[in-house]
């Protein structure tokens, strides 16, 4: 019987770490990247251009951790981007912040990175918007990712928070508007479904 071998290519998967607001997604992403670097491995951090809350090409956590990242646009082919970077210097892992802003072709390209190049891809993002609707990127990841991992946070009532309430400057709930509106803790509140429905009723 041939001895079993484990290679990077058959370990590589597409992961989607999803949550409501303020669950520490960026913190977990940066910690994961740090773990690779501690072992002498190179990672590629990606963030969408639309996410300029902390400046373009930055991933910043709520606890103050910041790392430079490569920005990408909606029209960018992420398979080609990762492959060209990997050819210059081997990459052990690709980590993507605000993955809800990916489009479906880009999710398929990231699946190809895992399947063809053999690099694990870790995506971190919101599952739903302030109306409880899936983001396009999240919907695609829920269908295409090999592994789905929920990062949990708590509602003000103590239940698990699964929804994202958008508020105005006075803290009043907002029920209508564009799906994408970049804002931090001051604009969104993570809530359980029960409290979310009560807030918008």
User: How many degrees, rounded to 5, is the angle at CA 71 between CA 66 and CA 75?
Assistant: 155
Residue 11 confidence (pLDDT): 74
Cβ atoms of 81 and 49 within 8 Å: the answer is no
Is 5 or 94 the better-scoring residue by pLDDT?
Answer: 94
Asked if 125 and 101 count as a contact pair (C-beta separation under 8 A), the reply is: yes
Average pLDDT of 56-78?
86
Task: Provide the whole-model pTM.
Answer: 0.89
List b or e across 128-164, with b for residues whose CB sees 16 or more CB atoms inside 10 angstroms: bbbeeeebbbbbbbeeebeeeeeeebebeeeeebbbb
What's the pLDDT score for residue 54?
63
Q: Which domains does the chain have, with CATH numbers?
A: 8-152 (3.40.50.300)
Please compute, for residue 75, the number of CA atoms within 13 A of its CA located in the half-sphere on the CB side.
0
Over range 62-77, report the average pLDDT.
88
Residue 98 annotated as catalytic: yes
Task: Find the mean pLDDT for residues 75-83.
Answer: 97
pLDDT digit string, tens, across residues 145-192? 999 999 999 999 999 999 999 998 888 888 887 777 765 567 889 999
Rounded to an integer, the average pLDDT of 82-89 is: 96
Q: Which two tokens stand for residue 177?
A: 């508007």
Give pLDDT, residue 116. Answer: 96
Residue 52 pLDDT grade (very low, low, confident, very high; cuts 50, 70, 90): low
Cα 170 from chain centroid? Answer: 29
Q: What is the model's pLDDT at position 4? A: 34
Q: From the candidates 3, 87, 98, 178, which is the catalytic residue?
A: 98
């Amino acid at each position: 019987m041939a001895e079993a071998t484990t290679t990077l290519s058959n370990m590589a998967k597409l992961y989607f770490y999803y949550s409501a607001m303020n669950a520490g997604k960026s913190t977990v992403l940066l910690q994961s990247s740090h773990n690779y670097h501690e072992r002498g491995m190179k990672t590629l951090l990606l963030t969408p251009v639309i996410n300029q809350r902390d400046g373009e090409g930055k991933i910043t956590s709520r606890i103050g951790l910041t790392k430079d990242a490569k920005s990408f646009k909606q029209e960018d082919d992420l398979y080609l981007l990762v492959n060209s970077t990997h050819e210059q210097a081997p990459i052990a892992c690709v980590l993507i912040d605000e993955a809800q802003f990916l489009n479906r072709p880009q999710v398929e390209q990231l699946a190809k990175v895992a399947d063809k190049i053999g690099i694990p891809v870790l995506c971190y993002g919101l599952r739903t918007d302030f109306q409880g609707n899936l983001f396009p990127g999240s919907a695609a990841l829920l269908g295409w990712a090999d592994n789905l991992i929920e990062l949990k946070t708590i509602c003000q009532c103590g239940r698990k928070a699964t929804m994202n309430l958008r508020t105005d400057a006075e803290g009043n709930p907002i029920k209508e508007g564009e799906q994408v509106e970049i804002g931090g803790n001051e604009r969104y509140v993570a809530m359980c479904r029960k409290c979310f429905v009560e807030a918008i009723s």
